[in-house]
């Protein structure tokens, strides 16, 4: 029998309105089999959904785990390519004073894009799925992904950071704007 917490090959993404998306996620205390299964689900889901990042709360698990998986795809054709990176108990060490406005979408907020101010550069600490500690500096789009996904761990979505309703577009309008900008 399958329960919401059991492993399944393609778990459902939670969408805005589900209470787990507004909870502050709990730290991971053990890298046991259930955590490893969740990481595998996150990696599979972000790839199949054409995302560039995903956090455990989006799959219904209030744990401080996220994946950054920047790569060009249908939703983000200009994303830089990087290996998917699993971050367990990520922590923002420092952030640049420089903010950059950029368009964001979210797998848990389908059909909407918004312009969100984010720090241009972030320095972060985290552990990988094997418990190895890392400290890294990310800039630009990858820094944006990190900040977006950490928001999920803190019970926030990108809509909470949009400064004005004028900074919101439907996904279709955003895609049309992107096509117009290429022409």
Dihedral sign for Cα 129, 116, 52, 14, please.
positive
Task: Identify the three-state secondary structure at position 65.
Answer: strand
Whether 127 has a binding-site annotation, put simply, is: no
State the catalytic residue, choosing from 5, 83, 104, 149: 149
Whether 148 has a binding-site annotation, put simply, is: yes
Report strand pairing: 99-106 vs 85-95. unpaired
Output the CA torsion 109→41→150→112 (10° steps): -10
CA distance 38 to 60: 10
Under 8 Å CB-to-CB from 59, ≥6 apart: which residues?
Answer: 11, 12, 13, 14, 38, 41, 42, 45
171 is catalytic: no
CB 51 within 8 Å of CB 108: no
Distance, first Cα to last Cα, the chain: 52
Dihedral sign for Cα 107, 100, 155, 6, please.
positive
Whether 106 has a binding-site annotation, put simply, is: yes
Indicate the annotated binding residues for Fe cation: 106, 148, 152
Active site residues: 149
């Amino acid at each position: 029998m399958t329960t919401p917490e059991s492993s399944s090959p393609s778990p459902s993404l939670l969408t805005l309105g589900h209470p787990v998306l507004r909870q502050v996620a709990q730290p991971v205390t053990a890298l046991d089999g259930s955590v490893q299964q969740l990481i595998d689900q996150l990696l599979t889901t972000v790839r199949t959904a054409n995302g560039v990042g995903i956090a455990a709360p989006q799959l219904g698990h209030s744990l401080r785990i996220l994946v950054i998986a920047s790569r060009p795809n249908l939703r983000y054709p200009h994303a830089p390519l990087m290996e998917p990176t699993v971050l367990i108990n990520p922590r923002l060490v420092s952030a640049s004073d420089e903010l950059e406005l950029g368009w964001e979408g979210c797998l848990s907020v389908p059909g909407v894009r918004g312009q969100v101010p984010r720090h241009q550069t972030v320095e972060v600490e985290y552990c990988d799925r094997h418990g190895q500690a890392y400290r890294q500096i990310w800039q630009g789009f990858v820094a944006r992904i990190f900040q977006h996904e950490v928001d999920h761990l803190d019970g926030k979505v990108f809509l909470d950071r949009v400064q004005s309703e004028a900074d919101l577009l439907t996904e279709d309008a955003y895609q049309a704007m992107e096509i117009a900008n290429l022409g």
